[in-house]
């Protein structure tokens, strides 16, 4: 089917033609009809087979007819990917905005945008804050809807869609899914046309590798030259033919070890020119302006030989760097944990799945679901570059080969299932429903639950006991009042708005009744909430954590714990945050706590969010604590001692530069006012740009152009500093 035959605005067709899109893939062709007619559609087709294009077209079509769209994605990184895609249509007068936790579109009302891209949590949060434009939506896109299956985040997506459906029954819903067994049930739930297909733009060959030979699912075989290491052999094989390779393993440590090994083999076959470029890139990485860490150094060493590793311990900057250099073709191989399978689109000619099990603390190593393996395999084959993609699963023992063939290659992905029936999910979502007034009576609560995917497969009454428990809990803890129907208390409303687990709110309230007033006590309190996951206790940790635990004060005492280990894990987590605000170097934290620099960032983010919540709750329960709490906030954000707070308020100045200024005698705003740009720019970590920036910000009479230039520069700096 040709794009020009579609009943769409000719300008859209023109734009698509510019992008080189003239024909639709078969599953797209099948979906586009109902999608443009405004019908609900569920598309279950493999990744990178053009699901999004159908959604884009429906969205644009609707917007051109004065509609408004919400595009829900699971990851912040995907939000910016979609944003970039949709921006291509801005010339049609479509205004696209992004709204995710750490970054909101410049216009806070979001109202003036025609398309708003949000994570599912943000969409939920927008509903909680009663954003009225949600009632005006004409289209809702739910990307990766199979994530409803995720026990942690699935219920949010499910509830958000259910609420949107109730608030705004006329809005068209487009749900995009990976291939799953029961996508038809999703379609049923959403009252949608169901389109399922295995079609891929680049054909995929799947196979098992064992002892030097790949056995493909179609019966063909291919032998691979052995270089002494299974995985490296597979990498060399494809790189020699000009391809790239993506390898999935199940631990972070393995990504680093394997990428090192692969690199040792790769280095012999690299072209001299790319070898030179890699050396440059590697050096550039080491001289980056952000805090040097041993992980960064290791990454830089691996990059030198065209093999990189990728996992959630990397900073965002490092991840982007790895991804970009793989896309450009310079990096030949990435060894990654599953982060990469769920994240942005990063195809390679060959995908190797080395580990088919994952560690579970309760059961040891358990097999990973077929759906996940398919998701990883789906990254094989770059449209427009490769004629076919190869997904190769590794057999380690003689019997594995047959097992893998049968249980993975020839197996259908599993069915997905709602996880809304679980207590924590219900706690959170029942409260928010009551707090926003979406649900006011038992009757309405029932009808709301019955509108979810959960209820489609499970009878309401099977969980009515849990629901009653949850309602009782919410009442007892003073989140809601049961009178004539349900009503949220102020505490309940704040909890819902702050987007924390009600259980967290209970913990924080309790902490606010405590006597201590040390930074550590507050940090521990937030680490004691279910919203902040604790660090693992490693064998060597017990001694120092116990000692530390004994010497600190608490708002929540360890007498309250059944499980001492639990408490110690919280103490360890609080200790990480403490080290951060005491300006311990990133690398030292990395080593002491066994985390990556990216993990530090994540925990700091969570701490900021929870500390903010605690500050807000202190206004209700104990105003005397508000001062200490709000003083702690910027310290957490920037990772600095009190004395640097003045300096860190400048754009472009973080913990490292602030410390540099301070230790050279520039301790306050006043000191900087008196300082000379030349002197400043001679300090370590501070160049002429930064020095001028500081002066500019001190200036007082900053013109708009200068302000803009400054903003631009500081954005540049932020990017580098990541």
Q: Which residues of this chain interact with DNA, rule CB under 7 A?
A: 74-77, 100-102, 104, 107-109, 119, 121-122, 125, 129, 150, 152-153, 249-254, 256-258, 311-313, 337-339, 342-343, 355, 357-359, 361-366, 396, 497-499, 531, 533, 536, 538-540, 594, 602, 605-606, 608-609, 612-613, 616, 633
Query: Rounded to an integer, what distance in angstroms lies between the CA atom of residue 458 and that of residue 268?
Result: 59
- Pick the closer one to DNA by CB: 553 or 708: 708
CB atoms within 10 A of CB 704: 7
Nearest to 43 by CA among 193, 164, 203, 199: 193
Closest distance to DNA from the beta carbon of 533 (Å)? 5
Closest distance to DNA from the beta carbon of 619 (Å)? 11
Number of Cα atoms under 13 Å in the Cβ half of residue 3:
19
- Pick the closer one to DNA by CB: 284 or 619: 619
- Pick the closer one to DNA by CB: 68 or 311: 311
Distance between the two ends of the chain, CA-based, in angstroms?
44
Beta bridge partners of 488: 480
E strands of 241-353, at which residues? 245-248, 307-310, 333-336, 350-353
Query: Rounded to an integer, what distance in angstroms lies between the CA atom of residue 43 and that of residue 195?
Result: 5
Query: Rounded to an integer, what distance in angstroms lies between the CA atom of residue 96 and that of residue 110?
Result: 9
Closest distance to DNA from the beta carbon of 170 (Å)? 26
Kindly state the helix (H) or strand (E) to which residue 106 belongs, with its residue range: none
Find all residues with CB under 8 Å of 20, minimum gap 6, and list them.
Answer: none
Closest distance to DNA from the beta carbon of 544 (Å)? 12
How many degrees, rounded to 5, is the angle at CA 685 between CA 683 and CA 688? 70
DSSP-assigned states of every residue in 414-434: PP----TTSHHHHHHHHHHHH
- Pick the closer one to DNA by CB: 358 or 709: 358
Closest distance to DNA from the beta carbon of 233 (Å)? 15
- Pick the closer one to DNA by CB: 105 or 470: 105
Closest distance to DNA from the beta carbon of 203 (Å)? 28
CB atoms within 10 A of CB 152: 11
Q: Are strands 364-367 and 193-196 parallel, antiparallel or unpaired?
A: unpaired
E strands of 5-95, at which residues? 41-44, 69-73
Residue 528 in contact with residue 507, Cβ under 8 Å? Answer: yes
- Pick the closer one to DNA by CB: 49 or 573: 573
Closest distance to DNA from the beta carbon of 311 (Å)? 3
Query: Rounded to an integer, what distance in angstroms lies between the CA atom of residue 119 and that of residue 477?
Result: 30
- Pick the closer one to DNA by CB: 406 or 553: 406
- Pick the closer one to DNA by CB: 32 or 335: 335
Nearest to 243 by CA among 201, 299, 304, 306: 306
- Pick the closer one to DNA by CB: 75 or 519: 75
- Pick the closer one to DNA by CB: 171 or 569: 569
Maximum distance among all Cα pairs of the chain, rounded to whole angstroms: 78
Closest distance to DNA from the beta carbon of 714 (Å)? 15
Closest distance to DNA from the beta carbon of 378 (Å)? 16
Nearest to 599 by CA among 312, 252, 320: 312
Closest distance to DNA from the beta carbon of 11 (Å)? 29
In terms of residues, how long is the chain?
722
- Pick the closer one to DNA by CB: 192 or 528: 528
Closest distance to DNA from the beta carbon of 152 (Å)? 6
- Pick the closer one to DNA by CB: 98 or 171: 98
Residue 431 in contact with residue 480, Cβ under 8 Å? Answer: yes
Closest distance to DNA from the beta carbon of 96 (Å)? 17
Residue 523 in contact with residue 532, Cβ under 8 Å? Answer: no
- Pick the closer one to DNA by CB: 38 or 424: 424
Kindly state the helix (H) or strand (E) to which residue 542 belongs, with its residue range: helix 541-551
SS3 state at 154: helix
DSSP state of 493: H
Closest distance to DNA from the beta carbon of 180 (Å)? 16
- Pick the closer one to DNA by CB: 187 or 341: 341
Closest distance to DNA from the beta carbon of 234 (Å)? 14
- Pick the closer one to DNA by CB: 328 or 362: 362
Closest distance to DNA from the beta carbon of 337 (Å)? 3
Beta bridge partners of 352: 247, 392
How many degrees, rounded to 5, is the angle at CA 394 between CA 388 and CA 395? 135
DSSP-assigned states of every residue in 588-648: HHHHHHT--HHHHHHHHHHHHHHHHHHHHHHHHH-GGGHHHHHHHHHHHHHT--GGGHHHH
Nearest to 161 by CA among 140, 144, 182, 176: 140
How buried is residue 20: exposed, middle or buried, by Cβ count under 10 Å (0-12/13-18/19+)? exposed
Beta bridge partners of 196: 44
Find all residues with CB under 8 Å of 631, minimum gap 6, and list them.
Answer: 642
- Pick the closer one to DNA by CB: 299 or 455: 299
Closest distance to DNA from the beta carbon of 520 (Å)? 20
């Amino acid at each position: 089917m040709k794009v020009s035959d579609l009943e769409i605005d000719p300008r859209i067709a023109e734009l698509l033609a510019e992008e080189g899109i003239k024909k639709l893939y078969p599953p797209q062709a099948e979906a586009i009809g109902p999608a443009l007619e405004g019908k609900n559609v569920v598309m279950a087709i493999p990744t990178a087979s053009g699901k999004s294009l159908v959604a884009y077209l429906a969205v644009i079509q609707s917007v051109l007819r004065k509609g408004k769209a919400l595009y829900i994605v699971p990851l912040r990184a995907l939000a910016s990917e979609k944003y970039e895609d949709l921006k291509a249509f801005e010339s049609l007068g479509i205004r696209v905005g992004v709204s995710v936790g750490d970054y909101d579109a410049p216009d806070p009302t979001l109202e003036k945008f025609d398309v708003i891209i949000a994570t599912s949590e943000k969409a939920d949060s927008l509903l909680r804050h009663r954003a009225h434009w949600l009632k005006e939506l004409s289209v809702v896109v739910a990307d990766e809807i199979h994530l409803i299956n995720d026990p942690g985040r699935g219920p949010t997506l499910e509830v958000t869609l259910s609420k949107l459906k109730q608030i705004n029954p006329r809005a068209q819903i487009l749900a995009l899914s990976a291939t799953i067994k029961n996508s038809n049930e999703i379609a049923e739930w959403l009252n949608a046309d169901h389109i399922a297909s295995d079609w891929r733009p680049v054909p995929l060959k799947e196979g098992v590798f064992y002892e030097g030979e790949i056995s493909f699912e179609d019966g063909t075989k291919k032998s691979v030259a052995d270089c002494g290491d299974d995985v490296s052999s597979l990498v060399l094989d494809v790189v020699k033919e000009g391809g790239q390779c993506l390898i999935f393993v199940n631990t972070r440590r393995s990504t680093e070890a394997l990428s090192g090994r692969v690199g040792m083999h790769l280095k012999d076959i690299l072209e001299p020119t790319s070898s030179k470029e890699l050396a440059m890139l590697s050096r550039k990485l080491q001289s980056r302006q952000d805090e040097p860490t041993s992980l960064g150094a290791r990454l830089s060493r691996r990059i030198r030989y065209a093999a990189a590793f990728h996992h959630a311990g990397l900073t965002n900057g490092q991840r982007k760097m790895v991804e970009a250099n793989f896309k450009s073709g310079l990096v030949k191989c990435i060894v990654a944990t599953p982060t990469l399978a769920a994240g942005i689109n990063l195809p390679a000619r060959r995908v190797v799945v080395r580990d088919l099990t994952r560690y579970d603390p309760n059961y040891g190593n358990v097999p990973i679901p077929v759906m996940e393996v398919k998701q990883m395999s789906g990254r094989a084959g770059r449209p427009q570059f490769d004629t076919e993609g190869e997904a190769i699963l590794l057999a380690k023992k003689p019997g594995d080969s047959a097992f893998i063939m049968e249980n993975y290659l020839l197996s259908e992905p599993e069915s997905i299932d709602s996880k809304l029936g679980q207590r924590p999910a219900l706690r959170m979502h029942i409260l928010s429903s009551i707090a926003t007034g979406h649900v006011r009576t038992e009757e309405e609560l029932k009808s709301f639950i019955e509108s979810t995917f959960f209820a489609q497969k499970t009878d309401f009454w099977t969980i009515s006991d849990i629901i009653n428990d949850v309602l009782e809990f919410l009442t007892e803890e003073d989140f809601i009042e049961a009178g004539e129907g349900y009503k949220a208390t102020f505490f309940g409303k704040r909890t819902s708005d702050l987007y924390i687990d009600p259980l967290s709110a209970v913990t924080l309230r309790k902490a606010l009744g405590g006597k201590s007033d040390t930074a550590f006590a507050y940090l521990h309190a937030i680490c004691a909430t279910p919203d902040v996951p604790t660090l693992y206790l490693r064998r060597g940790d017990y001694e120092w954590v116990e000692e530390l635990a004994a010497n600190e004060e608490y708002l929540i005492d360890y007498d309250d714990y059944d499980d001492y280990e639990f408490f110690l894990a919280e103490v360890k987590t609080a200790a990480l945050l403490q080290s951060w605000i005491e300006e311990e170097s990133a690398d030292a934290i990395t080593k002491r706590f066994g985390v990556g620099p990216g993990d530090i960032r994540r925990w700091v983010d969570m701490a900021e969010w929870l500390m903010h919540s605690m500050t807000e709750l202190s206004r209700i329960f104990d105003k005397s604590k508000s001062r200490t709490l709000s003083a702690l906030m910027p310290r957490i954000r920037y990772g600095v001692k009190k004395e640097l707070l003045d300096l860190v308020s400048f754009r472009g100045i973080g913990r490292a530069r602030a410390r540099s200024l301070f230790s050279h005698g520039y301790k306050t705003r006043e000191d900087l006012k008196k300082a000379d740009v030349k002197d400043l720019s001679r300090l370590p970590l501070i160049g002429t740009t930064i020095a001028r920036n500081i002066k500019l910000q001190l200036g007082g009479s900053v013109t708009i152009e200068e302000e803009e230039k400054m903003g631009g520069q500081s954005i540049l700096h932020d990017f580098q500093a990541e």
